[in-house]
Amino acid sequence: MTPRRVLILLIAGVIVIAGALWLASQRHLEPASLAGDAVLAGLQKSLNDVTEIHLAKGDGVRTTLKKGATDWSVSERAYPADSGHVRKLLLDLAALKIVEEKTHSREFYPRLGVEDTDTPKSTGTLVEVITPTKTFALIVGNAAAGKTGFVRVAHTEPSLLAQPLISVDADPRRWIDRNVVDIGEQRLKQAAVEPAAGPAYSATRDAPQQTDYKVAPIPKGRELSSSSAANEVGSALAALQADDVRPAPAPTAGAAKSDHAVFRTFNGLELDAAGVVAGDHHYVTLLARSTAKESQAEADALNKRLQGWQIEIPSYKYQAMFRPLEDLLKKVEPAKSKTATTSAAKKNPQ
């Protein structure tokens, strides 16, 4: 073998080795893209360090979730978040695994919902998970078959089919702690109702074992539509949940009369509810009181969480809380006119 040929072989070997080293370094720098790899590498180890989560849509809808000493809050509402909901999102993001790579072409991103969220037409949701040392950013797109969905790590080209399916909503209402109060019918002794229109009345039980509520006063000549007519009022505070919240407005002189009710339990808890309707929205403010030592702690906890807030609740719950007395009574049959009575007598002579 001539010296020249040896030199050529040496140079070729150096080139092959250099190329292999370059490819290895590039693979190390690029995000993992093999089936089974984590979409957000490193998030699993950083879950306890997360301080904020930002959710944003191209149309401007956004939510900022901030971690406090013990729980999370929704900045756009300055109200406690559903911490269980937040934790599930973080765990799902950390567990997100690649099923396969999809398109690298930006023109096809909209089909998967993973285009950049910088225009109102974009359909995906940008999720940013913030720690003191790193921000993990992911665009969550459309659902796919089974428990998979399309995603794309922000500022990278590959779109990915991944699992589990991530479901996010950037609307702040979807992240508030929706639990308001849960006073089951078995606990409630009395509901004293003052609808904005119509007479006031009370629905009362003498003992928890009593099935139906007694209603008083009932107008002369009228009667309840059934013995259980007021039971819906008695269960109005069972599993009551919020659709949204807003700061309670300051009282204004000359304001229209609001719906009002006081709910009393057998153990001395009182919940004073005032309600207003604004278009399709139904709001209540709640103030708790206690007339017995055993319910004082519950009243204090409710006030700490709810005082100063107007809670938007479902319309059917609002209607149950402030149901007019007329809705509980048997309908009055219209009086027959004298002419109609005479005509009927002529058609049916004795």
CA atoms within 13 A on the CB side of 124: 26
User: Above 60 in pLDDT, residue 33?
Assistant: no
Model pLDDT for residues 144-197, shown as the tens digit of each residue: 988 999 999 999 999 999 999 998 999 999 999 999 999 988 899 999 999 999
**Residue 162 in tokens:** 């991944």
- The answer on 268 and 211 residing in a single domain is yes
* Dihedral sign computed on CA atoms, order 158, 164, 169, 170: negative
- Which of 160, 175, 190 terminates a domain? The answer is 175
Contact indicator for 169, 112 with CB cutoff of 8 Å? no
Banded model confidence at residue 25, pLDDT cuts 50, 70, 90: very low
- The answer on 92 and 171 residing in a single domain is yes
- The answer on 167 and 188 residing in a single domain is no
* 58, 115, 287 from 299: Cα distances, Å: 42, 49, 8
- Which of 155, 175, 195 terminates a domain? The answer is 175
Domain count, the chain: 2
Judge whether 217 lies within some domain: yes
pTM for this predicted structure: 0.81
- The answer on 219 and 164 residing in a single domain is no
Banded model confidence at residue 15, pLDDT cuts 50, 70, 90: low
**Residue 156 in tokens:** 């990278």
Lowest mean pLDDT among 89-98, 212-221, 263-272, 335-344: 335-344
| Alpha-carbon span 258 to 249, nearest angstrom | 13
- The answer on 164 and 207 residing in a single domain is no
Judge whether 18 lies within some domain: no
Q: Which domain holds residue 190?
A: 179-328
Judge whether 119 lies within some domain: yes
- The answer on 155 and 191 residing in a single domain is no
- The answer on 194 and 160 residing in a single domain is no
- The answer on 164 and 51 residing in a single domain is yes
User: Above 90 in pLDDT, residue 274?
Assistant: yes
| Alpha-carbon span 201 to 194, nearest angstrom | 7
| Alpha-carbon span 139 to 151, nearest angstrom | 6
| Alpha-carbon span 347 to 145, nearest angstrom | 71
Q: What string of H, E and C letters represents the secondary structure of 156-202? A: CCCCEEEECCCCCCCCHHHHECCEEECCCCCCEEEEEEECCCCCCEE
User: Above 80 in pLDDT, residue 10?
Assistant: no
Start-to-end Cα distance in the chain: 138
Q: Name the β-bridge partners of 241.
A: 179
106-112: long-range contacts, CB 8 A cutoff, minimum separation 24: 108/159, 109/152, 109/159, 112/141, 112/142, 112/150, 112/152, 112/159
- The answer on 227 and 133 residing in a single domain is no
| Alpha-carbon span 148 to 314, nearest angstrom | 32
Judge whether 216 lies within some domain: yes
- The answer on 211 and 154 residing in a single domain is no
| Alpha-carbon span 312 to 257, nearest angstrom | 18
| Alpha-carbon span 92 to 63, nearest angstrom | 18
Judge whether 224 lies within some domain: yes
Judge whether 190 lies within some domain: yes
Considering only CA atoms, which of 146, 141, 174 is closest in space to residue 160?
A: 141
- The answer on 149 and 197 residing in a single domain is no
Judge whether 7 lies within some domain: no
Judge whether 205 lies within some domain: yes
- Which of 122, 146, 175 terminates a domain? The answer is 175
| Alpha-carbon span 159 to 115, nearest angstrom | 9
User: Above 50 in pLDDT, residue 2?
Assistant: yes
% of the chain exceeding 90 in pLDDT: 79
Banded model confidence at residue 349, pLDDT cuts 50, 70, 90: low
- The answer on 133 and 114 residing in a single domain is yes
Parallel, antiparallel, or unpaired: how do β-strands 259-265 and 72-74 relate? unpaired
